[in-house]
Amino acid sequence: MDDIIIVNNLSKNFKSRGKSDTLAVKNVSFCLKRGETLGIVGESGSGKSTVAKLITGLLKPSDGEVRIYDNAERLLSQKKALEFYSQIQMVFQNPAESFNPRKTIGYGIGEGLRNRGYSPAATATVVAELLEKVGLEPSIARKYPHQVSVGQCQRAAIARALAVKPKILVCDEATSALDVTVQKQIIELLDELRKSEDLSIIFICHNLALVQSFCDRVLVLYDGEVVEEGEPDRIINNPKAEYTKVLVDSIL
Amino acid sequence: MNKKLIVYTILAFALILVAIFAEHLCPFDPYAQDLALSYNAPSVEHLMGTDAYGRDMFSRIIIGARASILSTLALVAIITIFGTIVGVICGYFGGKLDSIVMRISDFFLAFPGLVFALAVAALLGGGIINAVIALAVISWPKYSRVARSQTLSVKALSFIQAAKLAGDTPVQIILRHILPNILGPILVTSMLDIGTMMMELAGLSFLGLGAQPPIAEWGSMMSNGRSMLQTYPWVVLSPGFAIFISVVIFNLLGDTVRDCLDPK
């Protein structure tokens, strides 16, 4: 089986009291092949983040299913959750919010390990290794989120995601909150890691230019629907859908 | 370090220590009656004079600190803990439970608190413990509101989702990630509430629904002496002054703690 994630007719309907429901994701289907980096682009409100949360099980789909390693996602028991999240992890958009301000960075990175029965000493060792892997000093583990830069924070967030050795990484606008030089460093880090860690990546982004250099395949999302799918070069040079043309035109 | 914080903390602890070691600090037996000494004016021997039964007011104020301060602190602790637990659970899990509990708390918040406490206290009968229960029943919703709204705002941050991805159970998320981030505002609310609760408790005692005679409690002492305000003012003024000083100290402490926690 080459497809490690299969998404079938995925829909998400947000119910809101008094107002009409919001259909954030409509009949989205796609797959992620092993070792592939799949970009998902679209404007704000196009449903990119909702798709990410549906894939990682943080939201339950209203309709359709997500199959990871051929296992359909279900309501996860604690043991199942640990197993599931050893396969797939996520990096979030805002680095400053992605660590608990009252706990050290090391605590955050080591959390998944401790939940899997690692001793404090073993956790500390692995955390130090992880920090080295993402190009950070081991001393960062003792610092609090407000004491480090956003770039360092995002590297630490990647280290946290890699702690449990997942095979799939979902990056939800992981570079959007960073300035361009830091953005480049993070992309380079992800590029290195996808080779060394044998990662398959779903890279969600609103910047088509960034996706072009980093992704093998791109999905264009508009108003919750997939409007175009294909190789980044083809999409940029020869966009078919109306929305994609607008998106390509907006590249500076 | 903040000088104000240190000073007010010391003062507040001094009050609490007085309340704890009250019987060792009283110069006279606060319950010993001697009608020959009734309504003596303040003097070197009796710093705050004596009451109708010749009991030393100063000793009664000190022993009264126990009923007034310790029961207030117990009351604030009870409502803080209960309100926070309810609020965090409602905020985190949401859904029907949240709607139902919040409507119940709306009911309590919409009703004049002290009137409701009067009804509850009257139902339970007099006594300092019953007064604490009555005030606890009506005061917890404020804390569940604060805890709920804080929980909702913390819950939206991505480190909560990261914790889910790390495999934390809801209970672990609440204990490790939510509580440490919402304790500040809750602590400030409860510190600022100590003064209010002390006055409400004294108010219930003043109306005869709190501490019962012969137990010395500042509110009931004021109530017992109120007809003597013009003739023997110390009988009313000294417990009033004790309430005033304690409320001011706890309010200043609460204000300072708030300033320390959010500098802006």
Residue pair A133/A61 in contact by the 8 Å Cβ criterion: no
- Best B98, B153, B159, B183 residue to mutate vs chain A (most A CBs within 10 Å): B159
pTM equals: 0.85
**Res. B253 pLDDT band, cuts 50 70 90:** very high
On whether residue B61 sits in a domain, the answer given is yes
Taking the Cβ of residue B124 and every Cβ of chain A, the question of whether any pair is shorter than 8 Å is answered with no
What would the pLDDT profile of B201-252 be if each residue is shown by its tens digit?
988 988 888 888 788 899 888 888 888 888 898 899 999 999 999 999 999 9
Taking the Cβ of residue B187 and every Cβ of chain A, the question of whether any pair is shorter than 8 Å is answered with no
Which amino acid would we find at residue A215? C
Is B234 strand, coil or helix?
helix
**Res. A73 pLDDT band, cuts 50 70 90:** low
What would the pLDDT profile of A133-176 be if each residue is shown by its tens digit?
999 999 999 999 999 999 999 999 999 999 999 999 999 988 88
CA distance B242 to B244: 5
Give the DSSP letter of residue A137: -
The CA-based dihedral angle spanning residues B131, B133, B135, B136, taken in that order and rounded to the nearest 10 degrees: 160
On whether residue B26 sits in a domain, the answer given is no
Residue B227, domain CATH: 1.10.3720.10
Q: What average pLDDT does chain A have?
A: 88
Q: What confidence score (pLDDT) does residue B147 get?
A: 96
Q: Do B162 and A103 touch (CB under 8 A)?
A: no
Q: In what order do the strands lie in the sheet with A88-91?
A: A88-91, A168-172, A200-205, A37-41, A217-222, A225-230
Start-end of H helices in B207-233: 218-225
Q: B147: domain range?
A: 3-21+57-261
- Best B165, B173, B175 residue to mutate vs chain A (most A CBs within 10 Å): B165
| CB atoms inside a 10 Å sphere around CB B106 | 12
Is A228 strand, coil or helix?
strand
**Which domains occur in chain A, in start order?**
3-87+166-249 (3.40.50.300), 96-164 (no CATH)
On whether residue B209 sits in a domain, the answer given is yes
- Best A14, A88, A102, A172 residue to mutate vs chain B (most B CBs within 10 Å): A102
What would the pLDDT profile of A34-61 be if each residue is shown by its tens digit?
989 999 998 888 888 899 999 998 888 8
CA distance B155 to B167: 16
CA distance B32 to A167: 80
On whether residue B28 sits in a domain, the answer given is no
On whether residue B38 sits in a domain, the answer given is no
Strands A3-14 and A63-68: antiparallel
**Res. A1 pLDDT band, cuts 50 70 90:** low
What would the pLDDT profile of B113-133 be if each residue is shown by its tens digit?
888 888 888 898 888 899 999
pLDDT of B76 strictly over 90? yes
Taking the Cβ of residue B170 and every Cβ of chain A, the question of whether any pair is shorter than 8 Å is answered with no
Give chain B's domain count: 1
Q: Do A98 and B162 touch (CB under 8 A)?
A: yes
Sign of CA dihedral A80, A81, A82, A86: positive
Q: What confidence score (pLDDT) does residue A246 get?
A: 86
Choose among A102, A157, A161: nearest Cβ to B180.
Answer: A102
Interface of B with A in 100-119 (CB under 8 A): none
On whether residue B83 sits in a domain, the answer given is yes
Compute the count of residue pairs across chains A and B with CB atoms less than 8 Å apart. 63
Secondary structure (H, E, C), chain B: CCHHHHHHHHHHHHHHHHHHCHHHHCCCCCCCCCHHHCCCCCCCCCCCCECCCCCEHHHHHHHHHHHHHHHHHHHHHHHHHHHHHHHHHHHHHCHHHHHHHHHHHHHHHHCCHHHHHHHHHHHHCCCHHHHHHHHHHHHHHHHHHHHHHHHHHHHCCHHHHHHHHCCCCHHHHHHHHHHHHHHHHHHHHHHHHHHHHHHHHHHHHHCCCCCCCCCCCHHHHHHHHHHHCCCCCHHHHHHHHHHHHHHHHHHHHHHHHHHHHCCC
What does each C-alpha distance from B254 to A16, B47, B142, B248 come to in angstroms? 39, 30, 16, 10
Percentage of chain A with pLDDT > 90?
47
pLDDT of B72 strictly over 90? yes
On whether residue B31 sits in a domain, the answer given is no
On whether residue B203 sits in a domain, the answer given is yes
Q: What confidence score (pLDDT) does residue A80 get?
A: 76
